[in-house]
Structure 1
């Protein structure tokens, strides 16, 4: 049996050595990290500290009483901090509720003012359009100019459009009024399944299927309109829309439906329906009404293509 101080790393220098043999080579113990990891499960420092603790005398009554007093003081301090925090929260709660009420009223008043201004703008736009048509409808050149303006207004989504088309309704099974930040991952139990990229794919598929004008949630899709997601809110041209998402597309209804049912957007909707229980409805309508898009002032322009 080798001395403990010579058994470095669990290696016994006398292992396998014949003590009766004479002239045998002397074995030099070689430490092994692997043997140390397998045999020495406790760090030597921890073992020495445990040995000192075990060999020492038990703490005195005074030491135990001091330890209990320190623990009681710490518990009292923690309880005091929590009590002060609760008192402050209760004292500020009425003020917070009042501020929230003021903010809600301010938001409602601003929304009402925006709706009134939008209606006034639509009325003025209709008057301008009527004046233009009366002034230009007298000769052939004016009629050609009106036809060109109609095509440009349709491309810019600046006029109201009425006609037959396709109505696509997508319902999120977990939609709710809470618009707090959520991850953009489809996980079981998440609060949102329909994402912005799904709506974008459906809109692009409708354009490719022959749509002449499209609106999402009552918001007209124009050249500058975007569909994006900010937390749990779906924003269409910076206007929040919620489930069910209604996508209207004006165009030849039957031909557009046949093309749309073969498109990637429709396949994505059916996959979401089978995987997450999303509600999908596709129907034709002969009297769709699409509002005009928001008009933005153009400050910079660059010509593309030959002059």
Structure 2
């Protein structure tokens, strides 16, 4: 029987699939050989010399025991000291809290006294103005803001834009303020001045009566009116000829400025003509005495 020549096995034509971690050879090497070769050699040498593991000589064992005892002593003393100091720290904290609460109560009491005295001073000033103002006492009281007024007028509510707590730069950024959609003191100044120029006879912001001596300033992002902080929404009341006052203000440059704030920065505004608005008297008015100039007669 004649032998048949054996054919070599056919090679598969299907390409071998590469290993999933073929592209991560460096990471694979680090995982497989986490110990540096030098450290591995040193550990093998110590194991061969019998110096690996715990010390074997009596002197080394005593040294290790002494070190452990010293470490335990330090930890124990520290824990005992912390436990001993805890009541003292807690007592000092309670005393500090009591002092803060006492100081806050004293400040609140003084603030109430100041407000009461300011109200009393304003009341006596108004009485003196009515008594010595003559025929023009009522007009002077109205113009100076020392008397409460009511009548037709307008109500303007101005509020910050929605989400105004987010920062960002913009054309309104100046003097440390950023364009955050917040109404600024300079914006309120223009609004009030526009109302005066449009014919308002009396103006108040959030119940704070404005006079010829009122100041609108800023402290951080807060608006101060005569050093009193006001928060949004800002309700501006103005006594005047209702709808005519509203139309004149909206047509003025300051009214257009407010409209630009609404369109460009999201400042929310609402203006309505009212049949009657009530404005309180200014809390304190400085009374001044006029004297004729020397060398000139008076009419």
- Tell me if TM exceeds 0.5: yes
In structure 1, distance between residues paired with 2:248 and 2:255: 10
State the alpha-carbon separation in 2 of the partners of residues 205 and 193 from structure 1: 20
SS at match of 2:186: helix
Task: Kindly report which structure 2 residues correspond to 1:99-110, keeping only aligned pairs within 5 A, or say none.
Answer: 99-110=99-110
Q: Residues 179-210 of structure 1, C-alpha deviation per residue, up to 9 Å, x if partnerless? A: xxx964233xx4x6111110000001101111
> What secondary structure, in the 3-state scheme, does the structure 1 residue paired with 2:200 have?
coil
1:276 to 265, 283, 286: 265
Determine the structure 1 residue equivalent to 2:17: none
Provide the residue aligned with 1:170 in structure 2.
Answer: 158
Using the size of structure 1 for normalisation, the TM-score is: 0.55
Aligned residues: 201
Equivalent position to 2:222, from 213, 233, 242: 233
Equivalence for 1:55: none
Instruction: Name the TM-score, length of structure 2 as normaliser.
Output: 0.56
Identify the residue that residue 161 of structure 1 maps to in structure 2. Answer: 149
1:167 to partner: Cα distance: 1.0
Q: 1:155 to 1:129 in 2, by over 3 A?
A: closer
User: Based on CA coordinates, which of the two structures has the bigger radius of gyration?
Assistant: 2
Contact residue 122 and residue 146 of structure 2 kept, 8 A: no
Deviation at 1:113, TM superposition (A): 2.3
Answering whether residue 231 of structure 2 is matched by residue 242 of structure 1, we say yes
1:186 aligns with 2:174: no
What runs of 5+ residues in structure 2 fail to find an aligned partner?
1-85, 166-173
Q: Judging changes above 3 Å, is the alpha-carbon distance between structure 1 residues 90 and 169 closer, same or farther for their aligned structure 2 residues?
A: farther
The 2-side partners of 1:284 and 1:113 are apart by 38
- Is 2:143 the partner of 1:152? no
Instruction: State the distance in 1 between where 2:95 and 2:204 align.
Output: 41
Structure with bigger RCO (C-alpha 8 Å, 6+ apart)? 2
SS of the residue aligned with 2:223? strand
Structure 1: give runs of 5+ residues left out of the alignment: 1-86, 137-144, 177-181
